[in-house]
Structures are given as structure tokens and as C-alpha cells.
Amino acid sequence: MSENLPVSPRRKPTKGRKNSERPERDIAASHETVEEHEEGIYRVRRITGSSSTKPYRCPGCDQLIRTATPHTVAWIEGDVESRRHWHTPCWNKRDKRKPNIERTRNAPRY
């Protein structure tokens, strides 16, 4: 086996730098914010399409958030059980939304 393996043209070799010398970057904190709402303080995380690996049901519109769709995850601070996946527009407009009336599938909309 050859000791000089080809290097990917997209990756530049690091010269003299060890992994410990790389600047630390907190990926989670770059997409996570804290928002205050009537129910309490929420942790809000923006999820990219590439990191979304399974479908979820949006509590705002009750529609499916498909795999590989960018969306928002929010939960009340300190209560991980309240964590929900939202369409980003649904999360942004959730304070302006009227209370959701649950109907059966065949019920009229009026």
C-alpha cells in the first residue's frame, strides 16, 4: 500500500496545527436562541434541511413537516418534554393564531 495517499482537492492539509489548536466553535449555540412568550421562556433552535432526518407533525397547522425540510424546534426552558417541531412560519405566527378547534375528518369547516 502506498504511503502517499491522494488528498482531496477540497481539503487543504493543515501544516503544523494539531486538533487541539483549532478554534472551538459551538455549533448548537449558533442556531439556538431564547425567546420570551406568555407561557414562559422558550429555547428555540433552527434546524437545517440536511440535519432533518425524519418527518414531524407541526402543532401550529397540524400538517406534516417532511424529511429534509428546514424547520424550528422549540421547548420551554427546563422542560425538554415540551419540545415540539414547528414549521418556521407557524412558529413565528403562533401568538397571532386563534385557538385551534379540533374537528373530525368529515366535519364541515363552517
Enumerate the domain spans of the chain: 29-92
One-letter amino acid of 85: H
* Range 85-109 average pLDDT: 78
Write out pLDDT tens, residues 44-58. Answer: 999 988 888 899 999
Alpha-helical runs (H) found in the chain: 27-31, 88-92
What pLDDT score was predicted for residue 21?
Answer: 47
pTM of the model: 0.60
Distance CA 68, CA 30 (A): 20
Cell triple for residue 83? 419540545
